[in-house]
Structure 1
């Protein structure tokens, strides 16, 4: 018995070859009453129903509108209106209370009852307190932007500020002092280095006042406030001074050795970094002056020179023998 393979003739009469089976993956909906081959199905997104346009039978409900709400180039139109209907994102720190103050009660009842209801509602949801908190958070975000802090630090500062207000931890302190303290501790928590003097430029409160506020808050925190990382200061200040990678690497080596030997024990991290940068910079082909380093690092020139004097006395111990710079340590300028 011979078997034959079905073949098909094309329009031009030629053998079109065997037909490849094709699976129809289309999802077809048909009205069970009309049973039309070409069904007239209507998607009523406003009601969420799937309706037969011929007989009116509801074939489905709660359908999801997958269409775009607006065109992405809608700003080119003349009215230039915002088509969004959902508003701004809610703030999880407020627990949804940031949207409650938008509820209003009509005042046209002629009896004064609506005014009383509005007053009771304002007291019950604490609109005034929430508005004050939102205003403080806005000022916090502005202060953080001025010194280039990320949103992660801003959110952490907001949480700290809310904790201070809820527990009344810094009673009697000014708003500037409280906000600056929140930013300083938030930077520590997120391992972002900002010195006291950098924050002093934000609010002009004294460094002693900021230190007192930080010490008070340390007693009420579950986890200790992290110490400042010297290495992150080196990266930032080196970038401000436009130092070469060789000088940056040498500064890291000197700073680590200084910490081991305790050469600058008792000095602030900013002073330590500034002294190490100036020390290594003097060994390069393009040294920086003491004034340049002091200005970029946020310390006085006298403080920098006092740290450099201690480093100069221990200069033979600070750099490893295998690390070579353009100049030798014996050619360093005397303090």
Structure 2
């Protein structure tokens, strides 16, 4: 699974450690092994500060559903006594910035656009936008690409992020009113911002 997500060796090693600990407790017999392995990988990604979405993990999990993986994650945390572990508690707090560079890279965005997207994500963190981090990341990417010479379609962003086109559109609508305050001036001037559409 880790290879299909192009994960680094430290994440694979961490996932193996977690799996071995759970396996040694002999408590996984009769459980969905694919979901257990996927949950170990999910936890390892978070602990190594290289988060992947449940949807991404699910895409390589040999038939385990998001629900299966979520249950397996909760089970593993309970079995290993990690419910109150600060690193696990912190791992639940992810931000749009955790996904930004990877998504931009998947879309082949140039360095300037990536830098602008990262600056926007920092400023957006100070606002009260009630959307999931991954939806915010996708909307920021859409906004930035609409201001660059390398425009991207909603479909391209959906394929890179896994966020539905309608969700990207709705998140974009929430971000649009803040465009002039969050988009760096070096990337887009006021006249450029007027080319953005509001809905």
Give the TM-score taking structure 1 as reference length: 0.53
Q: How many Å separate the matches in 1 of 2:99 and 2:126?
A: 18
Corresponding residue for residue 269 of structure 1 = 133
Q: Is 2:175 aligned against 1:175?
A: no
Q: Answer whether contact 2:139 2:171 (CA < 8 A) is retained.
A: yes
Question: Unaligned regions of 5+ residues in structure 1, if any?
Answer: 1-142
Structure 1 residues 170, 309: CA separation in 2 closer, same or farther (over 3 Å shift)?
farther
Give the Cα separation in 1 of the matches to 2:42 and 2:74.
12
| Partner residue in 2 for 1:187 | 45
Asked if structure 2 preserves the Cα contact closer than 8 Å seen for 1:278 and 1:288, the reply is yes
Q: CA deviation at 1:168?
A: 4.2
- The structure that is helix-richer by fraction is 2
After superposition, the C-alpha distances for 1:168-226 in whole angstroms (9 at most, x for unaligned) are 45564300000000111111111123211111111232212222222333342245322
* 1:255 CA drift (Å): 1.1
Q: Would you identify which runs of 4 or more consecutive aligned residues in structure 1 move more than 4 Å?
A: 168-172
2: CA distance between counterparts of 1:144 and 1:325? 38
Paired residues for 1:29-178 under 5 Å: 143-170=1-28, 172-178=30-36
Partner of 2:188: 325
Q: Does 1:298 align with 2:162?
A: yes
Tell me if the contact between 1:191 and 1:228 (Cα under 8 Å) persists in the aligned partners: no
Shift of 1:250: 1.4
Q: 1:205: which partner in 2?
A: 64
- Equivalent-residue separation in structure 1 for 2:37 and 2:133 (angstroms): 23
Which of structures 1 and 2 has the bigger CA Rg? Answer: 1
Distance (whole Å) between structure 1 residues aligned to residue 96 and residue 163 of structure 2: 15
Alignment of 1:242-321 (within 5 A): 242-263=108-129, 265=130, 267-320=131-184
Residue by residue over 1:128-166, the C-alpha shift from the partner in whole angstroms, topping out at 9 and shown as x without a partner, is: xxxxxxxxxxxxxxx211111122111111111111112
Aligned residues of 2:36 and 2:73 also touching (Cα < 8 A): no
Which structure ranks higher in relative contact order (CA pairs < 8 Å, sequence separation ≥ 6)? 2
- TM-score normalised by structure 2 residue count: 0.85
In structure 1, what is the Cα distance between the partners aligned to 2:75 and 2:128? 29
Q: What is the alpha-carbon root mean square deviation over aligned residues?
A: 2.0
Q: 1:257 to 1:172 in 2, by over 3 A?
A: farther
Could you tell me how far apart the structure 2 residues matched to 1:304 and 1:330 are? 20
Query: Is the CA contact (8 Å cut-off) linking 1:191 and 1:229 kept in structure 2?
Result: no
**Any gaps of 5 or more consecutive residues in structure 2?**
none
Q: Deviations over 1:237-271 (max 9, x none)?
A: 111111111211111121112211022x2x32221
Q: How far 1:236 sits from its partner (Å)?
A: 0.9
